[in-house]
Structure 1
């Protein structure tokens, strides 16, 4: 299980997806994919933040409220917060890969998939 931002950052980089960069947003370290926020650590609670949708977040929170959490700051956004120490690498890999694909320009993704 992933417990810290350093572990999540290293894990995300280990996926070897192109166009992923370290960045700082709102004074906090983040990862960007294709120039857009991709994954980061909440400054409000001990949790990793992943792109998703409000509907998916609600479903995950309902299924496992100890793992999938929410801070009021993120309530209006389609983000999925996963509690520190409960971030499953298999889940994180699938989520990060899917959101990376969703964020990729169509031409880039077509060329990437052709390889």
Structure 2
């Protein structure tokens, strides 16, 4: 993924904002994406990382520990850090949509699948 943050944010918005119930707002000093009043993706602008909600972080971290990892802060949370300079756009898109599905209501998921 290019680390041009403007291009990256365009990619994030194009992927997430069309999903039902998604909003973007600031979380402390960084942009974040929410559904059902829950954060699913938090962009760490200065570090060029994204924190994503996931139930499969061990799988991703085992496959590519340089790109997918956690710090002590995330140890007890269902989030994984993703390095923007090395993640593929296809993997990131899968992770973003999965994060949305993890946090969305059944009604929002049905609305998305009905499109």
Aligned twin of 2:67: 67
Task: Sort the Cα spacing of 1:5 and 1:73 in 2 relative to 1 into closer, same or farther, 3 A.
Answer: farther
State the 1:37 CA deviation.
0.5
Gaps of 5+ in 2: none
Aligned twin of 2:86: 86
CA RMSD of aligned residues (A): 2.3
Q: Is the contact made by 2:23 and 2:34 (CA closer than 8 Å) also made in structure 1?
A: yes
Q: Deviations over 1:32-85 (max 9, x none)?
A: 1232212112378542111102xx222322221211122211111111111130
Q: Is the contact made by 1:3 and 1:87 (CA closer than 8 Å) also made in structure 2?
A: no
Per the alignment, in what secondary structure is the counterpart of residue 76 of structure 1? Answer: coil
Moved over 3 A (4+): 4-8, 42-46
Aligned twin of 1:19: 21
When normalised by structure 2's length, the TM-score is: 0.78
Per the alignment, in what secondary structure is the counterpart of residue 51 of structure 2? Answer: strand
Aligned twin of 1:28: 30
When normalised by structure 1's length, the TM-score is: 0.78
**Which stretch has the larger CA shift, 7-16 or 36-45?**
36-45
Give the total of aligned pairs: 113
